[in-house]
Structure 1
Amino acid sequence: MRKNRVDAKRYFEDRVKIDPWIDLMLKDTKNFTDDDLAYVYKNPWNCFSVSEVVMDRFPEYKELKSKDPKTYTIEDIRKIKFFFYLANFDPDFLNGSVTLPNGTKVDLTDIVEKRNGRYYLKKEITEEDCNRIVAETYKILSSIVPVHKKLMYDPVKKTGQIEVITTPFYHPILPLIFDSDIAKVCQPQDKLPTRFNYPEDADAQVKKSIDYYEKIFGRKPLGMWPAEGSVSEQVISIFAKNKIKWIATDEKILYRSNSSVKEFYYPYRVDEDTIKGNKNENGSVLIVFRDTKLSDAIGFTYQNYDPETAADDFIKYVLSFAPEDPNEERLISVILDGENAWEWYRKDEDGKGFLNALYRKLSKLYKSGQIVTVTMSEWIYGNPKRGVRPHPITQHYEIEPLYPGSWINANFDTWIGEDEENLAWEYLLKVRNDLKRLNVPKPLELNKVPKYGTKEFYEFKAWESIYSAEGSDWFWWYGGDQTGLGGDEPFDLGFRTHLINVYKFLQKAGYKVEIPDFLFKSILKKQ
C-alpha cells in the first residue's frame, strides 16, 4: 500500500484466482485474448455493467460504449477497463483526498477532474494507472471492517452509532431448509418438491454466520437479517437457541400472522413453539416489520426528487405516525437493499445530498425529542445516554403463530413452486440424503478448515459444498419469475457444480461413491 501498486508478476505466477476483472487490470491490454475481451465488452456481464445514471457522469466512458467495438484500439480497451473501476468508486474518492482508518489516503484527483457535474480524465491512461486503481481499490476494501468496527454500537458500554448484524451463512431460505413443506401454508395452490427437512442444516447456517462474525468483530451479533426476510414459526427456535435477540422482515408477514395488534410500527415477540407464557427472553426473539412504503421510497421514488424535497418527504411521513400520547412510542423500521438505491439517484450524485439532508434533519428532531434514531440493541436494552428506555423482549405484543414467508410476496414462490425450482430441490435433496446415508461426520468446528489433504479436510469441503448449494440465489434464477442478464445458465452450472463437488470431495476422502448422472443434466428447460 505504500507504493500504491500490486505485484502483478507475482500475482500471475502464484495463479491467484480472485476476480476476472482484477486479472484484466493487472494484465497488459495489448496481450488480451478473446476470453479477456469477453469480460471487457462481449459477455452479458462486462466492463460497461453500470447503471445508465452512473454512465452519464462519465462522458468519455459513455462515448466508448456507443462506439463500434470493431474500431476499438488498445488505448480504448485500456480506458474501458479503467473506467469500469473508476465508475464504481464513491464520488468522495474522485472529488478529493480521503484519509482511511489505517492512515492511508486515496486521492484520484491527479487522474480525474469534475467539470459541470461530470467526470473527465486528466491524462492518457497507462497500464501503471490500471495497476494503481487495483491498489486503491484494495485500500478502500480493506478499510470496510475497520470503519464498521469503529462505528458499531456496544450495548454494554452504550457507545457507537450503528448496529452490525449478519445473515445465515450461505444466504439460504432458512424456513425451506428447515422444512420445505412449510411453503404449503403460503403457497397452497403450488406443486411442491419432495420434502426437504434438515433443521440441523438451518442451525449450521446460523452457527457458521455467528462464528464468522465473532472472528471479525470480537463479539457475537445480537441481530440477524434472515435471507430475503424469510421467516417461519419453526426457525424461531434456531435463532433463540443461538442467542439472536432480534430479526426483521416485511410488514406483509405481520398482516398474515396471528396477533391481537397488527401495526407495523410496533415490534413483536415470537416464542419458541415449546414455550407457553414465556417470561424469559432466552426463549423469545423480537421481530420488527419494515415500513414498506418508506423503504421503497428510498429505493425507487426519491431517486427522481430534489435532495431536500426527498428528505422533507421522509420526515413528514415519519412524523405522521407520532402518537397523541407523549408517553407512547412507535418504532418505524426502514429496511432495503443498501447497494441498489444510490446508483439510480438522477438529481443527486450517489444520494449524497439526500442522505446529508436527512441526517441533518433527523439530528435536529432528535434534539427536540420528536424523532429518536435507535439501533435495535438500544431499543431492547435501553441507552440512558441518549434518553432511550429499555423495551425488554417479553414486554412486547406476541405473535402466535408467525406466518411463513419472505419480504417478496409474503411467500417463498421466488425459490420454490415452479418446475425448475422444484427440480433443483430434488437434486439438492438426493445429494443431501447421500451425505446422511454415508454418515459423513460434520466438522467439529464449522469454519475451521482441517489440514489440507486429510480425510477430515475433504469431508469438511463436502459439507461446505452442500451448504453452498443450499444458498437462495441458485433457486432465485430457476423458473420464469427471474431471468439473469444474458440467461440463467451460469447459475445452473454453479449450483450443479457445488453438488458434483460433494461427491468429488467424498471420493478424495475415501468414500466409495459415484457422481450421479442426473447432476450433469441441466435443470433449465430452455437451453
Structure 2
Amino acid sequence: PFVDTKKNRVDAKKFLAAWEGKTDPWIDLALKPTKGFGEKELHLLLRNTWNAFGISEVQIARFPAYQRLKEKNAKKGAFTEQELRDVKFWFYLAHFDPDFLEQKVWLPDGTVVDLTDLVTKHADGTYHLTRTVTEEDCNRIVAETYKVCANVIPIHRKLMYDHVRRQGQIEVATTPFYHPILPLIFDSDLARICQPGDPMPERYAYPEDADAQVAMAVEFYTKTFGQPPLGMWPGEGSVAHEVVPIFRKNGIQWIATDEKILARSKPAGQPKFFPYEVDTSDVAVVFRETELSDKIGFTYQNFVGEDAADDFIKSILRYAPAAGEPDRLLTVILDGENAWEWYRRDNDAKEFLHALYRKLSKLYKSRQVVTVTMSEFIHGNPKRGVDAHPVESMKKLDWLYPGSWINANYDTWIGEQEENTAWNYLRTARMDLARSGVPQPDPKAPEPRSGTKKWYAYKTWEAMYAAEGSDWFWWYGTDQNAPAGDKPFDIAFITHLRNLYQFGRKAGGTFPDREFTPIITVKEEMVSRTAGGTMAQSRKDSVIVLFQCDARKIFVRRGIYITGNHELLGNWTPNAVRMYDDRTTGDEVANDSIYTLVLQVPAGVELEYKYTNSGPRGTWEGEEFPSRNRRLVVDGTVPRIVVSDVFGVMP
C-alpha cells in the first residue's frame, strides 16, 4: 500500500508512520532525509556491526566511488551530508544484479526495473553514477528493490515443475522451518556417534519439535506455492537415520546431504552417483558431489567464465556410464547466496552460468547429459525422455550415518564450550516450557488472533522453535566467525529465550525466573574474529592454496603458467593454466612479475607441479626444468597454504 510501482516511489511519510523501527532499518535510513540523521542513524549507517559497508571486497571493487567511501569510513573520516546520502544509496545499488544495472528488465508482474539513468558501466567493468544522488533517488531505489522482491515468489511459481502434469523447469525444495540441525533437536546425543571425542551438553531430545519444524515448513511452502514440497534440504545437510521417518510422515519424498555421509553409512563402499532409499522408509536420499559443488562455490571464482564452464563439463563427463550401465545421478549442491559475489574475473558469474547452461543444453540434445529435478527423476517425464526411478526401486541403505555436509558431523553447532552452553540454555528453557502448562500448538494451524491467550501461546512456541534454529549455534565457538563479529547472533539467541518466558506468562503459563546471561564476552569475540568467515567448508575437505611464482629475473613474453598432476593444474597439460599478475586471484601488486593463482585443493592430495613461460598451449616450450617436478602435500591440517617459488629455482 505504500509503493507506487508506476511512479517508482514510496510514500515515505505513511510508511514511516506505520512501520518505522519495526522492520528493516535500511528502509528507514533510505526514506529518511539524510539532513536529519542523528547519532542513531549515523551509527547504523557507519559504525554498527552490520553497517553500510558489509559487502565483499570483490563486489565493492566494481563500484569505485563506494569503495572510496568505505576506505574513508575505515580511516574514521568525517562525511558530508552528500557523502552520507551516497553511502545509503550505494548500499542498495551495489546489491542489484548486473542485469538491472545495464539494461531494462521486465518482471513477471509487468513492472520494469530500469536503473540505466542512474548508473553507467565503464570499459573496465566498473560502475559509476551518472549524476549526484538526491533524496528522491534514495526513495526510488527502495521502490525498485520492492519490485524485484515482489516478483521472487511469482517467478518461482511460474517455473516450478509439477510432476503430475509434467510441466515446469525448476523444483523448489525447502528446509525445516527455523533451519534447525534437525537430528540434534530429535536427540543431541546423536552427536556422540560422529563426535566421540568431543564434550557434549546435557541431552536435548524433543522428537515432537523436530516433527513440528518439518510440518511448519511443509505448511508454509504449500500456502506459498500452491502445492506441497516433495524435497527437503535438511539444514546444513544434517541427517540421521532416526529422523528419516519424520520426513516421510510429512510427505517428503527425497532429502539431500553430502557424500561424506554416504561414505560412513551402511553398507559401506556405495558410489555417490546413485540415489538411495533409506532402509524401507520410502524416502530417497541423494549425496552431494563435493568436488564439483566446491568448484562452483570456490574454485571458479578465479576463472574466466567460459573456462570454468568447460572444466565443469569435463568433470561431469568423467562420470558417464559405459554402454549398458544404468543411469547415474550427479548431485551438485552449494551455498548459492554466497558464491557469485566472489567471482573476480566474471561479474556475478554471468559468463560462467550462461556458458554452462548453453553447453548443458547442447549435451541434452545428444543425450550425453540430462539435467533433472529430483521429482522428475523419481516420477519420470516422458516428454523429456526421463525414465521413472521409483524410490522403492532404488538401492537400499541399511543405516544413514548421523552428520552434516560439514565434516560429516555436527561439530560446527555442538561440542565447543560456547555451543554447549547454548544447548544447556535451550534445554533449560524447553523443560520450563514443558512444565508451564502452555500447550504445544498444532504446527499446521493458522496463527490465532493477536492479543489473545492462544496467540501468546503461539508466540511462546514460536520463540522456542526459533531458538532451536542453527544460526546461533553456528556462530558460537571458534570454528565459524562472522566478519563483523558474532555478538548480534548471541543477542538474538538470548532474546528468543527471554521472549519465550514473556509470552508464556501472558499465555497463562507458570514459569520460573531465569536470567540467561550473554554467552559471548567482548574479549572472546576479539579472539574468535580472527578464525573464519561465512562460507563454510569442511576443514578436512579442501584447502586454499595460493601459488606465487617470482619471475622477476626472466623475460616473460606472454605469461606464466602452472601445470601438474591434478585437474586443477591441467593434468600435466603445459601452458594451459594461467597465473595472474593483475591484482586478481590473490595477486597483491599488479605488474610486479610475481604471478599468482589461488586454488581450492582437496585435502589428502600430494601435488606435483612446475611452471612454464609463455609457450603454446599443450607444448612444453618455456618449461622451467624438464627433468624435475616440485611437490606439495596438502594434508588438510591447515586451511590455507601460501607457496612462494622462484621460476627455475628448486629449493
Q: Which bracket does the TM-score occupy, shorter chain normalised?
A: over 0.9
Between the aligned partners of 2:511 and 2:202, the Cα distance in structure 1 is 23
- Cα deviations across residues 176-214 of structure 1 (Å, max 9, x unaligned)? 000000001000011111111100000000000000000
Identity fraction in percent: 59
- Cα deviations across residues 395-451 of structure 1 (Å, max 9, x unaligned)? 111111110000000000111111111111111111111111123212235452111
Call closer, same or farther: CA 1:13–1:290 in 2, change over 3 Å: same
Tell which deviates more after alignment, 423-432 or 475-484. Answer: 475-484
The correspondence of residues 268-307 of structure 1 with structure 2, limited to 5 A, is: 268-271=276-279, 278=280, 283-307=281-305
List gaps (5 residues or longer) in structure 1.
272-277
For the pair 1:236 / 2:244, whether they are aligned, the reply is yes
- Residue equivalent to 1:318: 316
Matching residue within 11, 17, 23 for 2:15: 11
Between the aligned partners of 2:257 and 2:282, the Cα distance in structure 1 is 16
Aligned residues: 515
Q: Contact between 2:438 and 2:507, CA under 8 Å: does it hold in 1?
A: no
Between the aligned partners of 1:330 and 1:249, the Cα distance in structure 2 is 17
For the pair 1:73 / 2:80, whether they are aligned, the reply is yes
Tell which deviates more after alignment, 103-112 or 489-498. Answer: 489-498
In terms of fraction of residues, the more helix-rich structure is 1
Q: Contact between 2:212 and 2:443, CA under 8 Å: does it hold in 1?
A: no
Amino acid at match of 1:122: T
- Residue equivalent to 1:274: none
Bigger Cα Rg: 2
Question: If the length of structure 2 is used for normalisation, what is the TM-score?
Answer: 0.78
Please tell me the root mean square deviation across aligned C-alpha atoms, in Å.
1.3
Using CA pairs under 8 Å that are at least 6 residues apart, name the structure with larger relative contact order, 1 or 2. Answer: 1
Between the aligned partners of 1:487 and 1:303, the Cα distance in structure 2 is 25
- Cα deviations across residues 348-382 of structure 1 (Å, max 9, x unaligned)? 11000000000000000000010000000111010
- Residue equivalent to 1:515: 513
Matched residue SS, 2:210: helix
Distance apart, 1:260 and its partner CA: 5.4
- Cα deviations across residues 129-174 of structure 1 (Å, max 9, x unaligned)? 0000000000000000000011110101111110011000000000
The correspondence of residues 217-232 of structure 1 with structure 2, limited to 5 A, is: 217-232=225-240
Q: Contact between 1:212 and 1:447, CA under 8 Å: does it hold in 2?
A: no
Matching residue within 96, 100, 103 for 1:96: 103
The correspondence of residues 78-477 of structure 1 with structure 2, limited to 5 A, is: 78-116=85-123, 117-259=125-267, 261-271=269-279, 278=280, 283-444=281-442, 446=444, 448-477=446-475
Between the aligned partners of 1:243 and 1:344, the Cα distance in structure 2 is 37
Q: Contact between 2:433 and 2:511, CA under 8 Å: does it hold in 1?
A: no
Between the aligned partners of 2:508 and 2:168, the Cα distance in structure 1 is 51
Between the aligned partners of 2:321 and 2:174, the Cα distance in structure 1 is 32
Q: Contact between 2:438 and 2:508, CA under 8 Å: does it hold in 1?
A: no
Between the aligned partners of 1:447 and 1:82, the Cα distance in structure 2 is 41
Amino acid at match of 2:507: A
Q: Contact between 1:261 and 1:397, CA under 8 Å: does it hold in 2?
A: no
Amino acid at match of 1:340: N
Q: Contact between 1:258 and 1:401, CA under 8 Å: does it hold in 2?
A: yes
Between the aligned partners of 1:114 and 1:213, the Cα distance in structure 2 is 39
For the pair 1:21 / 2:26, whether they are aligned, the reply is yes
Q: Contact between 2:456 and 2:507, CA under 8 Å: does it hold in 1?
A: yes
- Cα deviations across residues 43-73 of structure 1 (Å, max 9, x unaligned)? 2321111111111111111122222543311
Amino acid at match of 2:415: G
Amino acid at match of 1:187: Q
- Residue equivalent to 1:497: 495
Matched residue SS, 2:441: coil
- Cα deviations across residues 209-237 of structure 1 (Å, max 9, x unaligned)? 00000000111000000000000001001
Matched residue SS, 2:10: coil
Q: Contact between 1:257 and 1:403, CA under 8 Å: does it hold in 2?
A: yes
Tell which deviates more after alignment, 208-217 or 39-48. Answer: 39-48
Between the aligned partners of 1:442 and 1:351, the Cα distance in structure 2 is 46
Call closer, same or farther: CA 1:451–1:180 in 2, change over 3 Å: same
Between the aligned partners of 1:484 and 1:367, the Cα distance in structure 2 is 44
Amino acid at match of 1:153: Y
In terms of fraction of residues, the more strand-rich structure is 2
